[in-house]
Amino acid sequence: LAKTTQPISMDSYEGQEVNITCSHNNIATNDYITWYQQFPSQGPRFIIQGYKTKVTNEVASLFIPADRKSSTLSLPRVSLSDTAVYYCLVGDNYGGATNKLIFGTGTLLAVQP
Amino acid sequence: GAVVSQHPSRVICKSGTSVKIECRSLDFQATTMFWYRQFPKQSLMLMATSNEGSKATYEQGVEKDKFLINHASLTLSTLTVTSAHPEDSSFYICSAGRGEQYFGPGTRLTVT
């Protein structure tokens, strides 16, 4: 399973766009990139998943360059409630029979008023 | 999205006793479920893969005799912490799904 590297923490203010970049230099051809959000004392919550280029849903966008060795989670106009830990994971888990996920350190995003 | 539940949400037990934590997939069947442990201010650590109808697969360093996993049906996996000690106090989380993983809300175990 590919190892991921993210910044340990980031600070932002309400209303700003936040971009969190994750490095995954050893990503395999079959690997997908998935981002999760976790609040204290809760289980992680799925945010977005992609394979290449750009994916957008109602809460975030995921940008993946052509070499797929990194990805950027973009959160538009963050609010105080977006303060959480964000995890980037890669793995051959999209529709596969096994979905073993290895969590890295994650990025603690602190949004201030 | 799919829902995964855990029970209990928190439990306090005395050192030396055993505690069982349940993980249920409420609206889908899961042949595979995963158990994680998370200490304060740390990331999730995968403990084991729970396989329906067969033995669980444990990650390196996880004591299989201490953390008993039973996956008796397609919607239920249980984790039993045997002879619990204070160092077993942690946040235990399960997940299930095909492709996208859905996580349970977690169980806070405190061993006194």
Smallest CA–CA distance from B98 into chain A, residue = A95
Pairing of strands A107-112, A9-13: parallel
Q: Does B8 touch chain A (CB under 8 A)?
A: no
Contact yes or no for A4/A24 (Cβ under 8 A): yes
A88: which residues sit within 8 A by CB, 6+ positions away? A4, A6, A20, A22, A24, A33, A34, A35, A71, A73, A104, A106, A107
Partnered with residue B103 across adjacent β-strands are B95
Reduce the DSSP state of residue A70 to 3 states and report it: strand
Summarize pLDDT for A56-73 with one digit per residue, the tens.
Answer: 999 999 999 999 999 999
Q: Does B45 touch chain A (CB under 8 A)?
A: yes
* Statement: residue A94 has pLDDT above 80: no
Q: How far is A49 from chain B, CA to nearest CA, in Å? A: 8
Summarize pLDDT for B27-40 with one digit per residue, the tens.
Answer: 888 888 999 999 99
- The type of residue at B2 is A
Measured between beta carbons, the chain A residues lying within 8 angstroms of B46 are 100-103
CA distance B67 to A24: 32
Residue A101: predicted pLDDT = 80
CA distance B61 to B49: 14
Q: pLDDT band at A35, cuts 50/70/90?
A: very high
